[in-house]
């Protein structure tokens, strides 16, 4: 076993690797960017080396600097985590040339799976079922259209160099093919510098089921499957293991195919073979096809750990250090069911816009595993993935595990930034999902219901109102009326986009009536603190003019300052600024154009996604300061509308 390893990553995955190292008595070296100098992974490691900079290119992608840090700090091996350099075969070559061990597969195994077309060819030869389609060299539009016709619509066009759902287009009808091809190719050229595409049969009622494999360079075993069908824009949201509806027969067939895939490339370490599965009529041994292999530890690996009892990072270290596979296939089994939910700083109603902010309060559920790279007080910065944590639960059955997931989400407390917690909660309560009817279209179909912030309950508003006005203090036994605040007080609260007017009427020490529209809630102070119309106060966090209420339906409530509101009335800012650092993809307007409120003015690409920047009001474009292709900082002025003269 190694005595010291360096972790070439940040965030929750770096912390996750350090956890196992501590348990095994392995010394750890962290690397970090300037903005991560005091990050949790740095605090946890035995030794830390600064890489400088903020952006990944200036820090976590600097392979040479990372290798120098490993040598200088006495590390014998480098764990790449996921993302960053984890699937970069040139980095693997450089690590080995420096006399260090790369904790992962060989450069040649990564190269073999790097391009989707070559990987599919290779898998076909190894006897692994692949999605029917065309993955040849011919790229002329007419020839590709003929291939699509032969495959049969609907088809999927995929960039061979693709990842993260980019360069991918679903085409339902022949007449849409040419346009879809052109846009997939241009997206692929921009994102990967490679416009080459393949065409695939689009599997209807698709499920994404992947198999965890583990190899020693020659032989491989599998650690069963994960179902990752709950996706939004091809990105995973909640994952589970095992897959609902899986049979022993289909599991054996998928496991064997995944092991064949791994052994065909002499795979070493942890990897994932992703299959697309036809879920229209139950799972079948002839109803799954190889999609791609991810040659690294996957974000959702904890659900596999939960059901197998295996620490995958421990296995990675052992095998990289030259030990044989820790267990044979027959020695692996499934115990119960597990879920993982990915908690992100993102603004769900605004179209899942990645968010930033200081986590003024952060607390995780007592009965769940929470993998995180942040603590209370830390900042979610615009430079990296906005993941806050992964919440993982395990139970004896799917039903119990799902109940534990709902409870764990309700007990997760985040204040200081918007999160997708309410969305995750709604998803965990979704009827179809609860029944195990999952497919990759589920979230898209029910998006409105899943993101609808139902009107906040008046009891919650009453609690927020008392907290924001300071009336929620405990009355002293001798408090008379006169010592209490003004008898009646009007305040305005903002929830999302909505302003809500409330009237607070003090009825005596420890008793306040809160009126919201035509509903009134009586708040009373008793032996167990405040109750709102009999309901106990919810756990909550107050900071400045805002309060975050936790629970199954978390809620952020802000107090609207009446003066600020008057000033801002109708002013609708005419300046469009970049909400985060990113790349300006397109600008749709020119000086002199007339725009209406809500019009798309430009597209900013940031944090792996494209964000439309909209006009906040009607107006005429006075100035365009952004040009397509430019890299901009957060807050950079991009477009200005003429002064509102009304």
Residues that bind ligand ADP (CB under 6 A): 11, 82-84, 131, 156, 158, 162-165, 200, 202-203, 206, 208, 231, 234, 236, 274, 276, 291-292, 294, 298-299, 384-385, 387, 440
Q: What span, in angstroms and rounded, lies between the C-alpha atoms of 7 and 29? A: 6
How is residue 297 annotated by DSSP? -
Cβ distance to ligand ADP smaller for residue 274 or 459:
274
Least distance (Å) between residue 70 CB and ligand ADP: 19
Cβ distance to ligand ADP smaller for residue 87 or 472:
87
Beta-carbon count within 10 A of 426 CB: 22
State the catalytic residue, choosing from 16, 40, 207, 296: 296
Cis peptide bond N-terminal to 242, omega within 30: yes
* Residue 19, C-beta contacts closer than 8 angstroms, at least 6 positions apart: 44, 313
Cis peptide bond N-terminal to 474, omega within 30: no
Give SS3 for 358.
Answer: strand
Least distance (Å) between residue 40 CB and ligand ADP: 13
Least distance (Å) between residue 400 CB and ligand ADP: 26
Least distance (Å) between residue 333 CB and ligand ADP: 25
- HSE at residue 251, side-chain half, CA atoms within 13 A, is 18
Q: Is 71 exposed, middle or buried (0-12, 13-18, 19+ CB in 10 A)?
A: middle
Cβ distance to ligand ADP smaller for residue 91 or 202:
202
Q: What's the length of the chain?
A: 646
Q: What span, in angstroms and rounded, lies between the C-alpha atoms of 119 and 135? A: 10
Cβ distance to ligand ADP smaller for residue 303 or 587:
303
Cα of 343 vs its chain's centroid, Å:
7
CA angle, corner 533, sides to 531 and 536, nearest 5?
A: 30
Cβ distance to ligand ADP smaller for residue 131 or 460:
131
| CA nearest to 431, candidates 412, 450, 448 | 450
| CA nearest to 492, candidates 509, 474, 456, 468 | 468
Least distance (Å) between residue 136 CB and ligand ADP: 17
Q: What span, in angstroms and rounded, lies between the C-alpha atoms of 184 and 168? A: 6
Q: Is 233 a catalytic residue?
A: no
User: Is residue 616 a contact partner of residue 598, using CB atoms and an 8 Å limit?
Assistant: no
User: Is residue 3 a contact partner of residue 26, using CB atoms and an 8 Å limit?
Assistant: yes
User: Is residue 16 a contact partner of residue 371, using CB atoms and an 8 Å limit?
Assistant: yes
Least distance (Å) between residue 387 CB and ligand ADP: 5
Cβ distance to ligand ADP smaller for residue 440 or 548:
440
Least distance (Å) between residue 169 CB and ligand ADP: 11
Q: What span, in angstroms and rounded, lies between the C-alpha atoms of 195 and 605? A: 19
Cβ distance to ligand ADP smaller for residue 105 or 458:
105
Q: Is 462 exposed, middle or buried (0-12, 13-18, 19+ CB in 10 A)?
A: buried
Least distance (Å) between residue 280 CB and ligand ADP: 12
Cβ distance to ligand ADP smaller for residue 225 or 459:
225
- Nearest residue (beta carbon) to ligand ADP: 83
**Positions marked active-site:** 296
């Amino acid at each position: 076993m190694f005595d010291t390893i360096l972790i070439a990553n940040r965030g929750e995955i770096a912390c996750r690797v350090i956890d196992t190292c501590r348990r095994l008595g392995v010394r750890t070296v962290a690397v970090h960017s300037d903005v991560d100098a005091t990050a949790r992974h740095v605090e946890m490691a035995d030794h830390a080396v600064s890489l400088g900079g903020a952006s990944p290119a200036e820090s976590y992608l600097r392979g040479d600097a990372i290798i120098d840090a490993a040598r200088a700090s006495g590390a014998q091996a480098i764990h790449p985590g996921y993302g960053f350099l984890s699937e970069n075969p040139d980095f693997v070559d450089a690590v080995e040339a420096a006399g260090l061990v790369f904790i992962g597969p060989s450069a040649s195994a990564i190269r073999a799976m790097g391009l989707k077309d070559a990987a599919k060819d290779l898998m076909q030869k190894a006897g692994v079922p692949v999605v029917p389609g065309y993955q040849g060299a011919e790229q002329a539009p007419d020839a590709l259209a003929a291939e699509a016709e032969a495959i049969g619509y609907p088809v999927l066009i995929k960039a061979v160099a693709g990842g993260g759902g980019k360069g991918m287009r679903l085409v339902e009808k022949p007449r849409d093919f040419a346009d879809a091809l052109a846009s997939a190719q241009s997206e692929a050229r921009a994102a990967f510098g490679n416009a080459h595409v393949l065409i695939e049969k689009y599997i209807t009622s698709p499920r994404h089921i992947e198999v965890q494999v583990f190899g020693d360079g020659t032989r491989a075993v599998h650690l069963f499957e994960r179902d990752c069908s709950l996706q939004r824009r091809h990105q995973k949201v909640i994952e589970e293991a095992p897959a609902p509806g899986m049979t022993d027969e289909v599991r054996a067939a998928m496991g064997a195919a995944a092991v064949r895939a791994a052994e065909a490339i002499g795979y070493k370490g942890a990897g994932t073979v992703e299959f697309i599965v036809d879920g229209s009529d139950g799972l079948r041994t002839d109803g799954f096809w190889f999609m791609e292999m991810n040659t690294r530890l996957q974000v959702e690996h904890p659900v596999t750990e939960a059901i197998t009892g295996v620490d995958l990072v421990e296995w990675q270290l052992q095998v990289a250090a030259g030990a044989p596979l820790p267990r044979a296939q027959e020695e692996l089994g499934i115990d119960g069911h597990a879920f993982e939910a990915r908690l992100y700083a993102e603004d769900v109603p605004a179209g899942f816009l990645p968010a930033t902010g200081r986590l003024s309060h952060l607390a995780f559920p007592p009965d769940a595993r929470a993998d995180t790279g942040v603590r209370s007080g830390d900042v979610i910065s615009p430079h990296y993935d906005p993941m806050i944590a992964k919440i993982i639960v395990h139970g004896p059955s799917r039903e119990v595990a799902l109940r534990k997931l709902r409870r764990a989400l309700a007990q997760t407390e985040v204040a200081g930034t918007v999160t997708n917690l309410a969305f995750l909660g709604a998803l965990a309560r979704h009827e179809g999902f609860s029944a195990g009817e999952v497919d990759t279209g589920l979230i898209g179909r029910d998006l409105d219901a899943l993101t609808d912030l139902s009107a906040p309950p008046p009891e919650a508003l009453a609690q927020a109102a008392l907290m924001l006005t300071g009336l929620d203090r405990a009355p002293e036994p001798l408090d008379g009326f006169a010592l209490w605040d003004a008898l009646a007080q009007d305040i305005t609260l903002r929830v999302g986009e909505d302003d809500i007017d409330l009237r607070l009427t003090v009825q005596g020490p420890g008793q306040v009536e809160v009126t919201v529209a035509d509903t009134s809630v009586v708040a009373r102070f008793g032996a167990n603190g405040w109750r709102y119309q009999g309901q106990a106060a919810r756990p909550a966090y107050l900071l400045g003019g805002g309060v975050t209420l936790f629970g199954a339906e978390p809620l952020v409530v802000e107090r609207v300052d009446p003066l600020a509101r008057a000033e801002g009335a109708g002013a609708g800012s005419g300046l469009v600024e970049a909400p985060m650092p990113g790349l300006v993809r397109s600008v749709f307007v020119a000086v002199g154009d007339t725009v209406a409120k809500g019009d798309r003015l430009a597209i900013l690409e940031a944090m792996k996604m494209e964000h439309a920047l909209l006009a906040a009001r009607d107006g005429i474009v006075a100035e365009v300061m952004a040009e397509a292709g430019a890299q901009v900082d957060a807050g950079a002025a991009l477009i200005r509308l003429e002064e509102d003269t009304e």
